Structure 1
């Protein structure tokens, strides 16, 4: 029989971390982070990284495994998570993935071969040269003409993904979106997806409050240290909660505008996360409110008992 893997998914700030720990405690499980930014050391507050106290003695993986200057790809995530799933299962424990990075979770749980397309270094260098000469906006418009779906998912400042998408098309004649649609729907595991959703108004209030709490906890100092250490142009600083502060540090944006931008980007990201999981995965959804978390979580534990 295939290994059963629980995956707790949904938008940011909805309660995935707490539920994953409850499930691990109830069903002898261990937790793997499903957040692509929590792999970086020093990015703690902005990624809402689970604290030692919150872990309640439950082992966690895929946290603090990379330095901020190191790249980290979907393929890297897939390889490591599949290793941890097998290791956790070999010890008679239940693997649980908790997070909101949909593409990464999908790559880990399905026979996803995104990384198998070999790079053409000549084309890559040419594209990088064009990027340096013409700028990211021009290159992003080119991608939008070729592959509007991929362009919508790729920020112009994410040069690595921008170049990669253009390179795949110029190398193969197939767009990145077409390539991804042809990925296998088979999984080497038996994934069980539990999704948490919340009324949009309540969720957005919760996200705004979370940003305020992060600032109280020292988010500004955390990002400032990373900026002063020279990580501005690295992948680790392109995540929400970090990139918004760079114009502020450069004197190009007020602090209030920075906070409002961070809240807006976080809300928009939550919407994209929800759309991704609704469209890409077979998820059993549970609606929660800030007041009903405990009751809903107990219902989820009861439902899972019949599946495991």
Structure 2
């Protein structure tokens, strides 16, 4: 896969190794025709609210790339506000895959993700000669793709970008983000999904697993109960909002712990990079969108760009499986 991306980055010519076979004539066999360059794949990881989607889009506007969603809730149709799906404007013309494709009442499994993501990666590389960037908070999806999809590591050279924010700082931002979601219609969005008869409210299935849906159940039931007065409903709603914030913060903590585990697990890979965005969040004023702040560009986007630029300039080779098995 050849991607010419930057005039400031020299292409490095890497010669495939020669394998010596001691025969009667002591010839050296050049296996160059049997070596192929590994295709490149980038992963943008991080806890909820750290700006993974924004960074993926920022990078995709600088490289010929397309984005594959790796969030297990954003894969479902609906609940755009609650699941914080990127808008058409925020996409800035960058194609997105696996975003809002699954029936909200279905169960989109890890195996489903591996199958769909592998197909998307192949179509982006082979069909469009572009760079696949996987972005999302479901680290179990990423781990499964990298480790369980047959021949994934054999076929692809991977680069991992971890957008990290100190948890105390992130927790405050996440709480404020829930407030903004409420202003943008979160409750009404969940209300439209709610089944008053309770028959379709399976909170362990599909999009109803999203944080914010089960927490609002008691309020939506109180809303329909004529014996519950407005003061009681208001109290129930406040408790639900507090629970949404608490559970979102817990999710961020679990996600960060999982990334730490993967970092240690994949320590042998040189292409695992932590991008510290804490200072960006510290500079926020009055809930200003971090993506518009100069600090985001300087501390997050530019270092990430340099990492990916260097990653793409390096060639990694693989020996075709048929020849590898025959020779070794």
Q: TM-score, normalised by structure 2?
A: 0.69
Q: 1:188 to 1:239 in 2, by over 3 A?
A: farther
Q: 1:89 to 1:223 in 2, by over 3 A?
A: same
Distance of 1:247 and 1:261 partners within structure 2: 12
Residue 67 of structure 2 corresponds to: 31
Pairwise CA distance, 1:235: 2.5
| 2:201 counterpart of 1:232 | yes
| 2:113 counterpart of 1:77 | yes
Q: TM-score, normalised by structure 1?
A: 0.73
Alignment of 1:193-212 (within 5 A): 193-212=160-179
SS of the residue aligned with 1:192? strand
Distance of 2:107 and 2:140 partners within structure 1: 17
Distance of 1:307 and 1:80 partners within structure 2: 25
On the 8 A contact 2:64/2:130 being kept in 1, the answer is yes
SS of the residue aligned with 1:42? coil
2:184 to 210, 217, 225: 217
| 2:145 counterpart of 1:108 | yes
Alignment of 1:125-136 (within 5 A): none
Residue 286 of structure 1 corresponds to: 275
Q: 1:285 to 1:17 in 2, by over 3 A?
A: same
Pairwise CA distance, 1:190: 1.5
On the 8 A contact 1:45/1:217 being kept in 2, the answer is yes
Pairwise CA distance, 1:46: 1.1
SS of the residue aligned with 2:148? coil
On the 8 A contact 2:107/2:206 being kept in 1, the answer is yes
On the 8 A contact 1:241/1:262 being kept in 2, the answer is yes
Question: More deviation in 38-47 or 206-215?
Answer: 38-47
Distance of 1:244 and 1:187 partners within structure 2: 43
Pairwise CA distance, 1:188: 3.9
| 2:284 counterpart of 1:302 | no
Pairwise CA distance, 1:22: 0.9
Q: 1:204 to 1:79 in 2, by over 3 A?
A: same
SS of the residue aligned with 1:45? coil
Residue 214 of structure 2 corresponds to: 243
Can you list the C-alpha shifts for 1:42-78, whole angstroms capped at 9, x where unaligned? 1211111010000000000101211211221110011
Greater helix share, structure number: 1
Distance of 1:16 and 1:232 partners within structure 2: 30
Alignment of 1:87-166 (within 5 A): 87-90=123-126, 91-112=128-149
Distance of 1:231 and 1:44 partners within structure 2: 20
SS of the residue aligned with 1:110? helix
